[in-house]
Chains A and B, each alone.
Chain A
Amino acid sequence: MSLLRGICLLLLAAAFSAQPQVTVEKPAIELTAAQEARLAELLPDLRCLVCQNESLAESRAPLALDLKYEVRSLVAQGKSASEIKHYLTDRYGDFVLFRPPFDPRTWLLWIGPFALVLLGLLVLVRQIRSTRRAAARAATTAKPADPAALKKLLDE
């Protein structure tokens, strides 16, 4: 039992050894209720760069906490949401935004899925039309049935 505990402690130590051991006490930043609301609206749109599928709002990674603090102080300084996003993209690139901007580099990303659906619809329509045309052609070119043969079939 104590061996298991030892192993668990070791694993824990290993997991935390890759994190900063020092934390600098930073002064708390007071926000008004309106600023708190703006912050709460902004944070879910920002990506944590350490755990890439989490937003800054939910992440507990040390870097995410630091960035959250920076964003909080920017909100306290009265910076707008786009100014704050610029502050982050200037340093970390568009990757910090969960919704990347619409520009030539991201056209494929934004339009691609819709273009694919459209292409699929076109192929589908063409496919249906050609089957219908083939059916119609078969109907008009089919030889009229021989009345004698029909009668024979029905009588049997």
Chain B
Amino acid sequence: MRYTIPLLVLGVLLAFFAVGLRHDPRILPSPLIGKAAPAFSLPALEFPQPEATATPPLKGNADFLGKPLLVNFFASWCAGCQIEHPFLMSLAKAGAVTLVGVDYKDADVDVRQWLGSRGNPYAPVLADLDGRAGIDWGVYGVPETFVISASGQVLHKHVGALTPDAWERDIKPLLAAAP
């Protein structure tokens, strides 16, 4: 056949395009999946705001062992966080999972106002003021959500606003299967 080779080449190219063009280059795989969650120790925001002199209590990995979690990096200045916020509220209302919010590079006043007016879906809100915890978790753009097992392992990472679709497809089965 005269056209065998060109057709083969075309087939290979089409296969590459079919895979490559559907791939979003903004979404990077996390090297943390399957490993223990990075160590952190962050001040927890208290509601209502305590006396100015009080130092907020620090919370670390050990405080969250024993039940699966969603660790959600968010900020009051982030657009995607506004989009996912109602869905996080509905998860919290349904008691579907414990939500830990990490407030990424955000002012205390701003996040209090933000959560005050929209509702607070988080069990604790931890403040990552300088973004160091974000770096340890490999966060490159809020919102990012990590699924953590009861034993403190990273099971999954979702980049961008959390949608009901992604929850049903990627996260719920993981939480159901995790011991």
Contact = CB atoms under 8 A, between A and B. Distances in A.
Interface residues of B, number: 27
Contacts, number: 62
B129 A92 contact: no
A52 B141 contact: no
A135 to B, nearest CB: 19
Interface residues of A, number: 23
Contact of B140 (A17, A21, A63, A89): A63
B138 A93 contact: yes
B106 A22 contact: yes
A67 B134 CA distance: 11
B25 interface: yes
The secondary-structure label for the interface of chain B is loop
B126 interface: no
28 contacts: A18-B77, A18-B78, A18-B79, A19-B77, A20-B75, A21-B77, A21-B106, A21-B107, A22-B105, A22-B107, A24-B105, A24-B129, A24-B131, A49-B28, A49-B141, A50-B141, A52-B25, A62-B131, A63-B131, A63-B140, A66-B131, A89-B31, A91-B32, A91-B135, A92-B28, A92-B31, A93-B28, A93-B138
4 A-B pairs with the lowest CB-CB distances in the bound complex, closest first: A20-B105, A49-B140, A91-B138, A24-B130
Interface of B: 5, 25-26, 28-32, 38, 75, 77-79, 104-107, 110, 129-131, 135-138, 140-141
